Amino acid sequence: MDDKITQALCAVTIDDKDKASSGPDGDQTWPTGYMYHRLTPSMTLFTTFSKPVRIQWSPQDEHFASIFRAWEDEYSLPVERGAPISRIRQTLRKLESVLVPFGEAIQHSDTAFTEWRERHKAAMEAGLTRRPTWPVLRKGNPPRWQDHQWLKRYRYMNQQRKQLAFRAWEARFLFPED
């Protein structure tokens, strides 16, 4: 999948007289993409909307992307009060297995986080990774990326990690036999 190239081509045939309009000097113009091109009725135009882009998406990136999806398995968050200490520890280990390497990979840098977020967007658009159903990373009409949602989710996951670490530490003294 690393070699997947995204490219959008639009073929416009000029037989659609209903889409044509008159230009300022009486010539007909036809809409293609975001620009209007002057064409003769016998021409076909190929317009490239985006350049071919090579997206580097690794298994490690896929692992990091799990931060920005709902956790709907045995590690679902938040962990309810009164949960067994084994569940708290298990979820804490899972969080640390994702958050610690991600923080190291981006070197705890805002710039590197932003760069990774942009690669994540490109990978989702290219179909290299699945789009999460929650949190909503893209909404509106037309759909727009909600950049603040990545940061909000990353903060939430780190907050959950801290809370679980405190609860595990606290349980160690309250339930030493566990």
pLDDT of residue 133: 82
pLDDT of residue 73: 72
pLDDT of residue 177: 57
CA distance 172 to 151: 32
Note the pTM of the prediction, 2 decimals: 0.65
Structure-token pair, residue 8: 């959008």
CA distance 75 to 91: 5
Strands 5-6 and 53-54: antiparallel
pLDDT of residue 71: 82
Can you give the pLDDT of all 178 residues of the chain as single tens digits? 333 332 222 223 333 334 444 444 444 443 433 333 343 444 343 333 444 557 889 999 999 999 998 887 767 888 888 888 888 899 999 999 999 999 999 999 999 999 999 999 999 999 999 988 888 899 989 999 999 999 999 999 999 999 999 988 887 776 655 4
CA distance 64 to 102: 6
Phi then psi dihedrals of residue 4, to 5 deg: -65, 130
